[in-house]
Amino acid sequence: MKNRLEAALKGLGQRFGDSRLHVFDLSVSKIEQQTAFLCGRILEQKDLDRLCEQLAAQFPGLRLDTGNVHVLRRPDNPALAVGVNLTCVYAEKSFHSEQVNQAWYGERFEILEQDDRWVFARQEDGYLGYTYLPYLTGKVIPPPTHLVTAPAAALHEAPQPRSATLTRVLGGTAVRLEAVQGEWAKIAADRCGWLPLADLRALESLRKEEAELRAQMAQDALRLIGVPYQWGGVTPNGIDCSGFARLVHRWAGISIPRDADLQYHAGHPVEPPFRPGDLVFFGEAGGKKIAHVAVSLGGWEIIHASLARNGVYSDNIQTVERLRENLAGGCSFL
C-alpha cells in the first residue's frame, strides 16, 4: 500500500506545476490502521485540499493525516522589500548556487521559510527561490513614480555631474521622484540622490498607442546593445534572454513571466512577419522545448541576449542557421 501511495503522490506532484512556481515535496511517513500519515511541504492549502480529494478518489476508505505537512503560504507570512539596489535569487541558500533570478530595489518578497540569514521566498509574480535576508527590509517604501531607463545611472550627492557618486541605480528600477532642479531629478531609491531627469520615465506616461509602444520597445532594446550575458540576470549589469525580454516590457509598463517557456505560453500567439516588440522563441536543437527568446525589431530582425555572442546583439533569423532551424514561434503581450 505504501509503495502504491508514494507512486500516486509522485504522479500527482507532476500535475501541480514546476518548482519555479510551486512546491510539492510530500512523502508518506507511515500507514497505520487505514490511516496514511503524510509529511513534507506544499505551497498552498488549496493544493493540499486538492491532493487529498484526488487521493481519496484513488484509495477509497483510506484516511489521510496531514498534520505534519507544512503549508508555506499563510496569511501571517511577512512581506519584505529589496532594500539594496539589486539582490539575487538562487536555487539553493548559498551565493555559490545557481542564480535563477534578480530583483530590483523595492520589489517585494513573501517570506515562506527562514534559515538563519537566508529565506525561501515568493516574488510578486509567483517566482520562488532563495535570497539573502540582510538585503531585504521591512521599512515602508513609498510608491514609485518613475522607472530608471538608463542602463545604469550614477546617483549623485548634488545636482552636478562632478558631485560625489552615492551609488548606481540600475535600469528597470522603480523609484520615487522627490524634486526637480533644471535637468536633474532627486529620487528616493536605496539612497536619496540626484541623476539626470532624462534617465527617468514617468509611470503615468507608460500608456501609449500600440504603434508608439512598439517603436519605443525597439528603441529601448537597442540601447542595451553590448550588455554582457549573465544567466539569471535581469539588468544592464548582465542579462539573460528572458530577462532581456522582461526588462524591455517592464520599461513599457508590461509585466511578463520570468522565463522564456513561461513567456511563450502566457502571451497570445503571433505569426511571421513579426512586428517590433513581439517575442520570438527558439527550441532546443532537435527538440520542441523552448530554450531561447528574442525581441523582434520587425520582420526577421531580432535583438536578444545571446549566450553564443556573450551579450545583447541584433541578428537576422534567416541568416543565422541555428536561429533559422530552431524557430519555434512568436507571441505578444501588446
Per-residue pLDDT of 198-232, as tens digits, reads 999 999 998 789 999 999 999 999 999 999 999 99
Q: Out of 146, 156, 249, 304, which one is annotated catalytic?
A: 304
Instruction: Specify the pLDDT at position 286.
Output: 61
pLDDT of 12 strictly over 90: no
Query: What mean pLDDT comes out for the span 234-248?
Result: 97
Domains of the chain (ranges, CATH numbers): 2-71 (3.30.300.130), 79-137 (2.30.30.40), 146-204 (2.30.30.40), 206-332 (3.90.1720.10)
Query: What mean pLDDT comes out for the span 153-178?
Result: 97
Query: What mean pLDDT comes out for the span 320-329?
Result: 95
pLDDT of 30 strictly over 90: yes
Per the DSSP assignment, residues forming a β-bridge with 118 are 115, 132
User: What percent of the chain clears pLDDT 90, i.e. is strictly above it?
Assistant: 91
Instruction: Specify the pLDDT at position 283.
Output: 95
Displacement of CA 244 from its chain's centroid (Å): 11
Q: Out of 88, 146, 292, 331, which one is annotated catalytic?
A: 292
Displacement of CA 161 from its chain's centroid (Å): 33
Instruction: Please choose, from the candidates 20, 41, 61, the residue with its C-alpha nearest in 3D space to the C-alpha of residue 242.
Output: 20
Query: What mean pLDDT comes out for the span 153-181?
Result: 97
- Decide if 52 is catalytic: no
- Decide if 241 is catalytic: yes
**Could you tell me the pLDDT band of residue 190, with boundaries at 50, 70 and 90?**
very high
Displacement of CA 20 from its chain's centroid (Å): 10
Instruction: Specify the pLDDT at position 285.
Output: 65
Amino acid at 10: K
Q: How is residue 57 annotated by DSSP?
A: H
- Decide if 156 is catalytic: no
Least confident of 8-22, 100-114, 239-253, 316-330: 8-22
Q: Out of 146, 241, 249, 331, which one is annotated catalytic?
A: 241
**Could you tell me the pLDDT band of residue 288, with boundaries at 50, 70 and 90?**
confident
pLDDT of 15 strictly over 90: no
